[in-house]
Amino acid sequence: MSALIVCPSCDLAHCIGAAPSKERTVCARCGGLLQRAENGNIDAAIALAVSALVLFAFSNAYPLVAIQSNGSGRATTLLGAALGLYRQGHTLLASLVFFTTIAAPFLQITSLLYLLLPLRRRREAPGQRIVFRLLTRIRPWIFVEVFMLGALVALVRLAAFARVVPGVALWSCALLMFTLTALTSRTSPGQFWRWVEDRRA
Ligand SMILES: [Zn+2]
């Protein structure tokens, strides 16, 4: 079976062999990147997903920040921040924060583990195709980094009025941001289907 690959920069169609090359390939006309070198290790991807799951648990179980002012203190968690927005009447914003910083990252990590763990033992998870398609739909909605940036700006401004103590969750959220980025780049669609094909062979 001969497949075609289209250059994202200049639309030139290239004929690729029966299996996509494991090397990095570039466009013959404009030199744009056609394919990354997708020969990553599935164990490394699973390890990253497990680390992301642990960091995600820390990010949600511990307070994000503690604010001390005039002798009284308050601490909030990630879910508490979303609930606080909801209670203040910002329903849309609250659901956006909940979906992009809690639900979407959780779904990404768990669905990847659901797909990769059986694949490692040369088996396919039930509904593999549907779950992977769902995963590619969820990915653009993970905004942990946007949340981190917003939280940092707010904390710097708040620091002028109260004592702000960064919580465990803030640090794990920052680490989660990097782990999720690494996980996304290591489990691209090209890479995922290459693993599936390798297991079938
Ligand atoms: Zn091109």
Instruction: Give residue 11 CA to ligand 1 midpoint distance, Å.
Output: 6
pLDDT at 33: 86
Instruction: Give residue 21 CA to ligand 1 midpoint distance, Å.
Output: 17
**Together in a domain, 66 and 101:** yes
**Together in a domain, 102 and 191:** yes
Instruction: Give residue 191 CA to ligand 1 midpoint distance, Å.
Output: 21
**Together in a domain, 30 and 51:** no
User: What's the rounded mean pLDDT across residues 67-75?
Assistant: 81
**Together in a domain, 107 and 19:** no
Mean pLDDT of the chain: 88
Instruction: Give residue 34 CA to ligand 1 midpoint distance, Å.
Output: 8
* Digit-coded pLDDT (tens) for 124-144: 999 999 999 999 999 888 888
Amino acid letter, 98: F
Instruction: Give residue 127 CA to ligand 1 midpoint distance, Å.
Output: 35
Instruction: Give residue 137 CA to ligand 1 midpoint distance, Å.
Output: 26
Q: Where is average pLDDT lowest: 33-42, 92-101, 107-116, 167-176?
A: 33-42
**Together in a domain, 60 and 117:** yes
Say if residue 19's pLDDT is above 60. Answer: no
Instruction: Give residue 140 CA to ligand 1 midpoint distance, Å.
Output: 25
pLDDT at 12: 92
**Together in a domain, 116 and 156:** yes
3-state secondary structure string across the chain: CCEEEECCCCCCEEEECCCCCCCCEECCCCCCEEECCCCCCHHHHHHHHHHHHHHHHHHHHCCCEEEEECCEEEEECHHHHHHHHHHCCCHHHHHHHHHHHHHHHHHHHHHHHHHHHHHHCCCCCCCHHHHHHHHHHHHHHCCHHHHHHHHHHHHHHHCCCCEEEECHHHHHHHHHHHHHHHHHHHCCHHHHHHHHHHHHC
Domain that holds residue 1: 1-37
**Together in a domain, 121 and 157:** yes
* Digit-coded pLDDT (tens) for 187-199: 988 889 888 988 8
Say if residue 2's pLDDT is above 60. Answer: yes
Total number of domains in the chain? 2
Say if residue 145's pLDDT is above 90. Answer: no
**Together in a domain, 48 and 11:** no
